[in-house]
Chain A
Amino acid sequence: MHPVAIEARSLNKTFITKTGLWKTRTRSTLAVEDISLTIERGELFGLLGPNGAGKTTTVKMLTTLLLPTHGTARILGLDVVQQTAQVRKHIGFAFSGSRGFYNRITATQNLNYFAQLYALDSAITRQRVPQLLELVGLGTRGDDKVETYSSGMVQRLHLARALLHDPEVLFLDEPTVGIDPVGSRELRQTIKNLSSLGKTILLTTHYMAEAEELCHRIAIINKGRIVALDSPEALKRHISGDSVIEACIQPGQVQGILDLLRVLDGRTLVEVKNITEPETVSIRTPEPARVLELLSPYLNPQYIQGLEVRNQTLEDVYVTIIKAGGQ
């Protein structure tokens, strides 16, 4: 048994697009640059990054749907370019979105059909399809046409399809997009259960809390490159030992408070979040005691209505890394 589930070495993908009818212009876009990663069997691995960072392109290369321009990738020791058919038997994948099914037939008919694509025995299919529908919370809706499904239900059906042939390695591209909070929580629990059954899962997501809750390790990808890779806890430690102080300030007093904080050195980052009234000022600092000392005379409703001191979350780490341009 190969110990490594997913292995990528210097993976690159450049898209060449041609535009114009008479004067053809060729444009090349480097979507993924020099991505290397190793994911052990049974690991739940998260790929985080902003839109267009190269997450889906990476997943598509690992799932044999896209050829790398350079580099190699192996799933359970099988080369994704040279041993495509074998790789496909061992992987399941689910991309986000409401497309991807034959909407005018039922969920059960859709799953039966895809089971045939994976050459599943009829008896196994008859047994597994209702089980999987039950697993993703669609047990009572299997005989409904997919066109009657909400986007969250389609999302869950994507997961059921990915599991049809009981693959060892799962690729889930933003699996909880469009799902309500209760449904998301259930789906996260399902993903945890799958992980506890020994499945290797590569997950892409925009939700930091989701990544923090689920993933053993996380890679942050920006502009096609991996800019950080570690466990969520280690990532938080590596970036800094900073604390975050969030202060709710009366709108007219924000500038005064900002002036007050100017005495702090460059290691403290102050950000005004203009999203609510009173406004929230977020202060990331290695010296929280000093900041609190500066703010304490203003701790009354005329100036500061509330104050929260917390450790950095993964979201803070992520924002810091992405804003720093992935350095």
Chain B
Amino acid sequence: MIKYLLQSLRLYLYQAWLSYHGRYSITSPFGYISSKLGFPFFLMLFFIFMGKFVGYTNPLYIVIGNVLLIPAAGSMSGVTNAIGDERSWGTLSYVLGSPAPRLPIFMGRSLFYILDGFVTAVLGFAIAAGIFHLDMATINFGMLLLCIFLLAITSSGLGFLFGSISLISRDGWIILNTFLSALYILVGVNFPVGSLPSALQTIAFGLPLTRGIMAARLVLAGAGWNAIRPLLAGEVLVGAIYILVGYLCFRLIEKRSLTSGTLDAI
């Protein structure tokens, strides 16, 4: 049992590193760091100008929302591509034709994208504080980091789901992009979820991110652990459900491919 767990852990970490390194190894360190700093900077600048143009009194609301979406979007698209690319690279037959346990292979696809998104969002908040005067004097940094980290993890569940879809459909990436656009409306990035029609609110609370973003906003407003605890618990639960559904979807597609022979066809 211990041997199996150790093997799974080793496989998980190596898989995680490989799927990340394999996708980013063409990027120079300069290109990587500048993208980590440049992306949140220009994103914030865009929303501040847009907020001012439309007469927003507090454009930082949408700035914060969009910075909080960075780890989620990174994790989601990273995991989707990490799984979907296996199909286009023709590696699936060899991975699935091995006796390796499936769960660490599957979960390993997310680790470095989660960390990557986390780092980008933290840098984003540093830029927001340093350049765009986001007041962070009274906030609990530990709780903010926890919220950001949790957002990256729970959103990977959506990545697993879309990644699995992209194993059977060339449209996985298109579906993800469409869904990402919907997230801008649904999860409280640019305006509070409470301002949505009730049907959309129901959908919003069925998604990862909604409660996590609410919790992060509360932390930024100076709230304590007791205020955010139920929101984080809900976020963990919803995220876990999506990860589980994504994994089941992956196994189902793997099983189906044994009959249809479509897994490696592009």
Contacts and interface: CB of A to CB of B under 8 A. Distances in A.
Given A105-B21, A113-B18, A100 B93 contact: yes
B14 interface: yes
A102 B7 CA distance: 21
A109 B98 contact: no
A65 interface: yes
Contacts of B93: 65, 95, 100
Interface in B1-24: 7, 10-11, 14-15, 18, 21-23
A89 interface: yes
B99 A101 contact: no
Contacts of A97: 90
A12 interface: no
B260 interface: yes
A100 B89 contact: yes
B75 to A, nearest CB: 20
Interface residues of A, number: 32
Contacts of B21: 104-105
B35 interface: no
A308 B102 CA distance: 59
Contacts of A114: 94, 98
A119 B89 contact: no
Nearest to A88: B99
Interface stretch (A33-41, A56-64, A197-205, A299-307): A56-64
Q: Contact residue range for chain B? A: 20 to 34
Given A88-B99, A114-B98, A119-B100, A60 B14 contact: no
B10 A65 contact: no
Contacts of A119: 7, 99-100
A276 B214 CA distance: 77
B56 to A, nearest CB: 42
Given A101-B91, A113-B18, A85 B99 contact: yes
A109 B18 CA distance: 9
B18 A65 contact: no
A60 B96 CA distance: 12
A116 B100 contact: yes
Contact of B258 (A16, A57, A66, A105): A66
B95 interface: yes
B100 A60 contact: no
Given A116-B10, A119-B7, A105 B22 contact: yes
Given A15-B261, A117-B98, 10 more contacts: A65-B258, A88-B99, A102-B91, A105-B18, A113-B14, A113-B18, A116-B15, A118-B98, A119-B7, A145-B25
Please list the 5 inter-chain residue pairs (A to B) with the smallest Cβ-Cβ separation, ordered nearest first.
A99-B90, A117-B98, A117-B100, A102-B22, A88-B99
10 contacts: A16-B260, A60-B261, A64-B97, A65-B261, A66-B261, A99-B89, A113-B15, A116-B100, A117-B11, A145-B25
